[in-house]
Amino acid sequence: MSAIGALMTELIDYAGLFPPAKVEMRKAVSNYREYRNGDDAWALGRLIVPASRLAEFVEVFNEVCCGEREVAWLLSVLVSDDVSGDAKRIADFAQGAVLIDTIEVKAETVADVTAVLDVLSTGATPYVEILPEMAGEILPALAGRRARAKIRTGGLTPDAFPESAVVAHFLVECAAAKVPFKATAGLHHPMRGMRKLTYEATSPWGHMHGFVNLFMAAAYAYVGKEEPFVQAMLDEESPTAITVAEDCLTWRGQRLTTEEIEEVRRKFAICFGSCSFTEPITELKALGWL
């Protein structure tokens, strides 16, 4: 496997139900089925569905999918503030061709972590979205429960995007605590840059984090680089600054081998949620990296 292939394998959880795409359930299910059967399926992760819409998902899935011999679909289920109600919806979920692989929930304090994970005692892997500035306090609680962290890296307005220093601190703290993580929102593009934040003509503009920046920065954090280096990687805006070779990715002379990237992706930097699957792939191809 190539280094960029190792970085991208099963990297993108498809979140088409959510803004700014916010497609209807039938469209999201149809899109996901198309991506699973396409040439780029190797880069596709789970389909993200709110717990409150699981019944709707099953109804649509049964209408438009799928062959009995098809590999089971994997869902990541987003839990709302109604944790108990959503826990019941998850427990009652019944569709033999679909597995709830991960669940995603928010928590602001250590007490919140304990409370929500006690209720969500399923076999699915939990990701807990935390405020990145609370990482030092909350990550030990996640490690103690074998839960993973989640960071929100963007949104529909400029203030929804955390500063690179905040993200770098989160990555270094997660690496030190040995807590795997996923990211969500605002990661449509490989490289950091000033971009429109939605697909609307009147969309505001802002600096968006790049997913290549983020996952290379995570890899550097994992192998022991300090926060200033990790932050500088997050701030890099020029794709020509990154050397993409068959056996490594290199930035500022610091090589990440294919084997190192595979380990990072398997043990630490797991995936990101995106309302577009095609946009990240298309832009990587335009750069000549895929």
Residue 4 is which amino acid? I
Q: Which domains does the chain have, with CATH numbers?
A: 3-286 (3.20.20.70)
CA dihedral for 194, 197, 200, 205, sign (positive or negative)? negative
Angle at Cα 283 formed by Cα 281 and Cα 284, nearest 5°? 65
Query: Buried b / exposed e across 261-277, counting CB within 10 Å, b at 16+?
Result: bbebbeebbbbbbbbbb
pLDDT at res. 196: 81
Q: Is the Cβ–Cβ distance between 168 and 236 less than 8 Å?
A: no
| SS3 readout for the chain | CCHHHHHHCCCEEECCCCCCCCCCHHHHHHHHHHHHCCCCHHHEEEEEEEHHHHHHHHHHHHHHCCCCCCCCEEEEEECCCCHHHHHHHHHHCCCCCEEEEEEEEECCCHHHHHHHHHHCCCCCEEEEECCHHHHHHHHHHHHHCCCEEEEECCCCCHHHCCCHHHHHHHHHHHHHHCCCEEEECCCCCCCCEEEECCCCCCCCEEEECCHHHHHHHHHHHHCCCCHHHHHHHHHCCCHHHEEECCCEEEECCEEEEHHHHHHHHHHCEEEEEECCCHHHHHHHHHCCCC
Query: Buried b / exposed e across 75-114, counting CB within 10 Å, b at 16+?
Result: bbbbbeeebeebbebbeebebeebebbbbbbbbeebebbe
pLDDT at res. 68: 57
CA dihedral for 273, 218, 124, 87, sign (positive or negative)? negative
pLDDT at res. 46: 98
pLDDT at res. 67: 59
Q: Determine the length of the chain.
A: 290
Please tell me whether the peptide bond between 50 and the residue prior to it is cis, using omega within 30 degrees of 0: no
Distance CA 58, CA 99 (A): 11
pLDDT at res. 69: 65
pLDDT tens-digit profile, the chain (290 residues): 899 999 999 999 999 999 999 999 999 999 999 999 999 999 999 999 999 999 999 999 999 886 556 788 999 999 999 999 999 999 999 888 999 999 999 999 999 999 999 999 778 999 999 999 999 999 999 999 999 999 999 988 888 899 999 999 999 999 999 999 999 999 999 999 988 877 888 878 879 999 999 999 999 999 999 999 999 999 999 999 999 999 999 999 999 999 999 999 999 999 999 999 999 999 999 999 99
pLDDT at res. 185: 95
pLDDT at res. 235: 98
